[in-house]
Amino acid sequence: MVAAASVVVAVGAVTGMISVYDDRPAVDEARTAETTRPPRPDRLPPAPSPVPATPSVSASPSFSAPPSPSPTRREPVAPTPSRTEPAGRSAPVSARLYRHPGSRVLDWVRGNPDDPRRDVIRERIADQPAAVWFADHSPATITSRVAAVTSAAAAEGRVPVVVPYAVPDRDCGGHSQGGAPDLAAYDAWIDRFAAGLGSGEVIVILEPDSVAQADCLPAGDRADRFASLARAGRVLKAANPKARVYYDAGHSGWHPAAKQAELLRQAGAASAASSDGVFSNVSNFHRTADEIAYDRRVLDALGGPAGLGAVIDTSRNGNGAPAGGQWCDPAGRKLGRAPTLSTGEERVDAYLWVKLPGESDGCKGAPGTFTPSYAYDLAR
């Protein structure tokens, strides 16, 4: 995504979070993390010497009650006073959130049993559920790859979070450029994506940055994209009535809520036939309290059914956004609240780890790859 946003990096094929998002051209991959106890603030070993980075993947979360993003670049905003997120990690992780067993972080944990950082990274990152990204345009295999994730989650009685990330002109030609060749191809890809959703509960994070970053498109192209996104939501929900589809609301440091709501309305986010609400802060660092307030303003301005809610990416926002609008693996960040479907906040359906902590934005490692030194810094 461009420097006006945050930055989403794509990697992968199906494995944990389906590594396929986050700022880079992609191969589909599933990234995931199993549900387990949330990270604990124990005393940690000193940072050991770096070890070569290994590509990573993430997982997906779930939900039960009705509703509550790889780095994407977003515009710099004046930093708010330094403050640490409240200890949300003390809340138990939902037992229904699905962790894909093939994530890159899990691969690293399994392959590095003697690394002194291993236990911290395993407990605080690899054991958490995270989203599964599908970032490549691969119509021949997309149905089976999505079905592999949703069926595995259903077999465990858990709910996956999946991220379709293949809209044309993705990231406005930035780090995560790519996607389908045109909207007709994208519509056909979404049809096949929807065919893999199955019949169980699933959360769909529909195209990070596709709405908030659409200003880079000419007016006609933007209208066409929004029509395609509205169609995508309808197709996904028609294919699986238990699917919950959330649309891109950017984050609290980007567009004013009224402007973002108007863009979302054009993209179909106010219609119950296509939308269950909005998502924010994907691959970014803004504090949870700021996102809650922002998302509520967006939802109020958006209108639509009373049941529309919001989900927030809390994977790396434990210390809030860095000064100066830095977005590429900024120092001093930490893990945010653990993924959960029980936020205790009105109109906030879930805190999710859409971006897998430890996947580089492109500065501490190759974009979208799992970078142990970065993961360790976030976790400790």
Write out the catalytic residue numbers: 171, 209, 361
Token pair, residue 155, equals: 């077999």
Q: What is the C-alpha to C-alpha distance for residues 139 and 19, in angstroms, rounded to an integer?
A: 17
Q: What is the C-alpha to C-alpha distance for residues 267 and 229, in angstroms, rounded to an integer?
A: 6
- Give the max Cα distance, the chain: 55
Token pair, residue 45, equals: 């070993």
Q: What is the C-alpha to C-alpha distance for residues 288 and 337, in angstroms, rounded to an integer?
A: 8
CA angle centred on 3, ends 178 and 22, rounded to 5°: 45
Instruction: Give me the phi and psi of 61, to 5 degrees please.
Output: -100, 180
Cβ–Cβ under 8 Å, residues 124 and 10: no
Q: What is the C-alpha to C-alpha distance for residues 266 and 263, in angstroms, rounded to an integer?
A: 5
